[in-house]
Structures are given as structure tokens and as C-alpha cells.
Structure 1
Amino acid sequence: MRKRRDLSRAVLAAVTAAVLGVAGCDAVGGDAEGPSGTEARSARPSPKPTPAWDRSPASIAAVGDSVTTGFDACAVLSDCPEVSWATGSRADVDSLAVRLLGKAKAAERSWNYAVTGARMADVPGQMAQAALRRPELVTVMAGANDACRDTADAMTSVADFRTQFEDAMSTLRDALPKAQVYVASVPNLKRLWEQGRTSAMGKQVWKLGICPSMLSDPDALTAAANERRATVQERVEAYNKVLEQVCAKDRRCRFDDGAVYDFRFGVAQLSQWDWFHPSVNGQARLAEIAYRTVTN
């Protein structure tokens, strides 16, 4: 009888071990209970999530205004896209596209849809054009022309500016949910007035209609003139707050944290013709700011 009981116990132990082996239970040793089912799955390390931001996109499209077209950088009152901070090919600019893609690939995989004189209301249409290329990164620099109107009263309202930028982002997202967006802040227009008013030529070009709300009567320091410029400056700062807030809602959008606004454009960084738009050197500095923001 004792031998039979010993044999039965041995058989039971062997069957139990086989069942546990098939069930895949984890042995933890001692008297501890091993995790099973959901607990077992949660105990295993999770795969590393794919980062939302890619520091080395394979293609770039640019939207915006005259700054991104290289206006007045190479010749008076003319676009010069080859020196664009975003997609230009000139070595002395070393554009964002060239820095990220290399010169050969930048020529094939970067596109510039910016238009001189464009306002934020025009950006959704530019976004739609850019989306057709399916870029992995879209750069946005717009807003200066919303402040640069014939009068301060004619500036785009902050509410409309917000709606237009949200529309631009929605247009892109509907077509390209995973495209990344770099958003540059609107430059400090008052700082540009302070620099340019020292140039007789610059002030003559300003009379042709460059940013009248800020640049008209450049030597006037009356209370009314100072108030007008302060009003324009406050609107620019409000636009930048909108850009920051809307961008922050999108996990694949990066704002430059005001780096373009804070940049102190000097004589070397301003067009020798209008003392307002970036020179070739100024375009290179904008490319540096963009590259830092995209790759950090």
C-alpha cells in the first residue's frame, strides 16, 4: 500500500508539472505567487515608444511671406529664393533644408510656397499646396504682414489671426497627420524701425509702402507716432502668443520660443536696400535659429 501511495504521488507530481509547463506559469521560487494573465504581461518591459519629433526629416516644405522668399536680399524689391533661410541653395546661407538634407537632396526634397506680401489668411492655401508634396517637415513664418498694414487700425485682429493659423494647421493635419511643423515667431518690427531709420536710403524705400503702420514718418517722435508704433508692437507680441499657444496643442509642432522675435538684427543682417528685410547674412542667422529648434 505504501508503494502504491508513493507511486500515485509521483504520478500526480509529474502531471502537475506538465500542466504547469504547458500553461506557461512563471516560477518565482520560494513560496511567492508568480504573476499570470494581465499581471504577467504588465510585468514585462514595454517596447520603447516612437518619439513624436524626428530631428532628421527627409523632406521640407516652406510657407509664409517675403522673409522666406528672400525678398530684398539680393536686389531691390525682388525675391531671391536661393537665399531663403528655409530652402535656399546658397552656401553662404546654409539653409535649414541644406543643413538637414544635404545640398543634393535639398534640391530634390525641399519646396518653397511662401509668397511676398502673404498674410496669415493666405497660409491655409499654401499649406494645401505644400501637403501635395507630402513633406515630413513644414516651416511656417508669417504674421509680419498682418501687422504691416496701411494703418494700425487695419491690422489683422488677434482673434482672426488665431482662427487663420488654426485653419492652416487643420488643413495640414487633414492631409498629413504625422508631418512636423516648425513655427518661427514674428520678428520685432520696432527693432527693425530703430535700426533702419539711420539709413537715408532705407527711409526712401520705406516710402514705397514697406510696413507703413510701423515705418511711416520714421523720424517722427511725437506722442501719436510713438503710440502708433507701440500699438503695432503689442499686436506682434499678441500674434506670437497665438503661434505659441496653437502650436503647443499639436505634439508634432515646435515653436521657436520667440527666438526670431528676440534676435537683434543689426546692420549686417538687414537688406542694404530697405533696412527691413533680412540680408543674406540675416537669412543665415534665421537658418541657424530654425536648425537649433528642429534638432534640439
Structure 2
Amino acid sequence: MRNPQHRKRAAVALATAALTGVATLTACDASGDGSPAPGGGSAQDRAAPKPARVWDTSPRSVAAVGDSITRGFDACSVLSDCPEVSWATGSDDGVRSLAQRLLGKQRASTHSWNYAKTGARMADLPEQMTRAAAEGPELVTVMAGANDACRSSADDMTSVADFRADFRESLRTLRRTQPKAQVYVSSVPDLKRLWSEGRTNQLGKQVWKLGICASMLADADSMDRSATLRRQSVQDRVVAYNKVLKDVCAKDLRCRYDGGAVFDFRFDGDQLSHWDWFHPSKNGQSHLADIAYKAVTAARPRSQ
């Protein structure tokens, strides 16, 4: 039979070993190789939740920036602006602009502003944003980029890097004075689709010879390798521009991209100007207003 003192010392040893094991296990859970314990970890180790996106589906004022499309160019008469039929801020009842649909006709007449300019490129947008921001709008619409691709030649198109820098600067310009203004960004239209549709009209092709979007529309009937590659390079650049619009807009909590809705829209003869068969007609402007209204009032943005 073992000595009672031996049994006492053995019990103490076992208890000590058990406590040591618990302490060691706890230490490993708390530090070990630096990995947090299951279901635990310090606050800095856990990823911070992403800020929620903010969007009001019923803004009470609208300012528009962009290019000839937003100015209603060639929708009423040849080689002329017609802002009253603008998809964004026009007053024409046949178009029912985005501003009219959101605000009603009476309020739209006093709480919407159009600072777009025919021929504008993305580099011109910061200045337009400065003017738009001065009005204190709750919503700013952006439709720009077509003129960056529509140059005298494909080699003259705005680089993707410059396009990105200019768009970022445009949003920064707005945010300096209007941090809570919402921004609706339209995709650049499918210029190749417009060429394909418009080239069936002889009058339109004669107007194209005046220099409208030569990078895409020059030698409209030519299907040789050089012309095909040129048009495809313009198309590729438009696709790249739209990715920039999507990516930059996604980083702004109050910016909503149209998900490529305008690029995807299949303009036909009724939606194209019968003066140049390239810019939207009054009918086309109405369709653009419809696209914008659905995007602005949707509970969630359209995915692409």
C-alpha cells in the first residue's frame, strides 16, 4: 500500500499539470501565431462594415451636365441645340424629361438647370459641375464621353487614364460644395450601333461628311479591314469608358450608374434625329428620360 504522503504529492502534481495545460491552451487561443480565436479577435482584426449607400428616389431639384445629347442637339433642327426637348431638363410635353417626371412641370421650370454643352468632353465636366453645384441641386445628371470617342480619328480619342482622372475630378468638384447631392451617371451610347442604324439613310451619311464623329462615321459604307478595325477600336474605347464610369461612381455613396442601360438601348430610325441620323430625336430623348427616371426611382440600382 502506497504512503499517504506519496498520494498527496501525486494529487498536487496532477492538479498543477492540469492548471498548466489550461493556461497554455488559453494563451494559445489568445495569441499563439497571431490568429484570433474562433468567433473572437480584436476589433481592429475584424473588417469594418461598409458604409451604407445613400439614395433618395424623389429628389426635388435637378441639374444636368454633359454634351450635345443633353442639349437636344439636332432633335428640332439641323446642327442646332434644342434644350427644350432634353431628356434631363427639357420642358417639352412630348418628351416628359426626367426633371418633369420627378418634380412636375411647374416646379421643373424653376428647379432644374441645364449646363451641358454641345461638343463637351469629360475634361470639360469639372467646370460644368462648378456651375451646377452653385444651384444647390439635390440631383445632378451626367451624360458625357461620346465626344471623347468621337474624334477626327481613332488616334485622337481621350485615353482611358485621362477619362478616369477627369471624371474623378468632376465628382470632387461637386463634393467640395455639395457633399449630399446625388449623381445619376448615364453610360456612353453604343456608337457602333448608331453607325449601323444610321448608315442606311443617304441623307444622314451626307451630314456625317461634315465631320460628325469621324472616328466612327467616316467612310460609312467601307467594310474593309482598316475601317472595321477603326470602328472596333472606337467601340472598345466606349466600353472602357463605361467601365470607368461604373467603377468611379461605385466609390461615391451618392452616385448611381445606369448599369449600361443607355449603351444597351437599341436606337432605331424613330429614335434618331432625321437631321443627322446619329443624335437622339425627340422620340429618342423621351426614351432616355424614361431610362433615367426608372434608374433614379428604383429601390436598387440596375446591375450590369
Q: TM-score, normalised by structure 2?
A: 0.81
Give the AA of the match of 2:199: R
Match for residue 119 of structure 1? 121
Q: Which residue of 2 aligns with 1:197?
A: 199
Alignment gaps of 5+ in structure 1: 1-48
Is 1:63 the counterpart of 2:62? The answer is: no
Change (3 A) 1:56 1:227: same
2:260 to 250, 255, 258: 258
Aligned to 1:281: 283
Report the 3-state secondary structure (helix = DSSP H, G, I; strand = E; otherwise coil) of the residue aligned with 2:277.
coil
Partner of 2:229: 227
CA–CA separation in structure 2 for the residues paired with 1:153 and 1:181: 31
Runs (5+) with no aligned partner, structure 2: 1-50, 299-304
Name the amino acid aligned to 1:84.
Answer: S
- Tell me what 2:149 maps to: 147
Q: 1:168 aligns with which of 167, 170, 177?
A: 170
Structure 1 residue matching 2:74: 3-state secondary structure: coil
Identity %: 69
Q: Is 1:247 the equivalent of 2:252?
A: no
**Alignment partner, residue 296 of structure 2:** 294
Which piece of structure 1 moves more, 49-58 or 159-168?
49-58
Match of 1:53 in 2: 55
Aligned-pair CA distance for 1:51: 7.4
Deviation of 1:277 after TM superposition, in Å, equals 0.1
Q: Deviations over 1:16-60 (max 9, x none)?
A: xxxxxxxxxxxxxxxxxxxxxxxxxxxxxxxxx997211111100
Shift of 1:62: 0.0
Could you list the runs of 4 or more consecutive aligned residues of structure 1 that deviate by over 6 angstroms after TM superposition?
none
Could you say which structure has the higher helix fraction? 1
Alignment deviations for residues 100-141 of structure 1 (CA, whole Å, 9 cap, x no partner)? 000000000000000000000000000000000000000000
- Going from structure 1 to structure 2, the CA distance change for 1:264 and 1:179 (only over 3 Å counts) comes to same
Instruction: Specify whether residues 51 and 227 from structure 1 end up closer, same or farther in structure 2 by C-alpha distance, changes over 3 A only.
Output: closer
Over aligned residue pairs, what C-alpha RMSD do you find? Answer: 1.1
Structure 2 counterpart of 1:193, one-letter code: W
Letter in 2 for 1:61: A
Q: 2:109 aligns with which of 94, 107, 123?
A: 107
Tell me the residue number matched to 2:32. none
SS in structure 2 opposite 1:111? strand
Alpha-carbon separation, structure 2, partners of 1:271 and 1:289: 18
Which amino acid counterpart does residue 59 of structure 1 have in structure 2?
S
Displacement after TM superposition at 1:220 (Å): 0.3
Residues 242-293 of structure 1, C-alpha deviations (whole Å, 9 max, x = no match): 0000000001000000000000000100000100000000000000000010
Q: Distance in 2 between matches of 1:53 and 1:223?
A: 47
**Partner residue, 2:93:** 91
| Residue equivalent to 1:270 | 272
SS in 2 for 1:182: strand
Amino acid at match of 1:287: A
Aligned 8 A contact 2:141 2:185 in 1: yes
Confirm or deny: 8 A CA contact 2:52 2:253 kept in the other structure.
no
Listed one character per residue, the Cα deviations across residues 206-229 of structure 1 (whole Å, up to 9, x for unaligned) are 011100000000000000000000
What corresponds to 1:17 in structure 2?
none
Within the candidate set 136, 156, 159, 1:157 is matched to 159
In structure 1, which of residues 82, 85, 106 is the aligned counterpart of residue 84 of structure 2?
82
2:53–2:254 contact (8 Å) kept in structure 1: no
Scaled by the length of structure 1, what TM-score is found? 0.83
> CA–CA distance in 1 between the matches of 2:118 and 2:201?
23
Cα distance in structure 1, aligned partners of 2:210 and 2:225: 24
State how far apart, in whole Å, the 1-side matches of 2:62 and 2:227 are.
41
Matched length: 248
Q: Measure, in 2, the Cα distance between the counterparts of 1:145 and 1:287.
A: 20
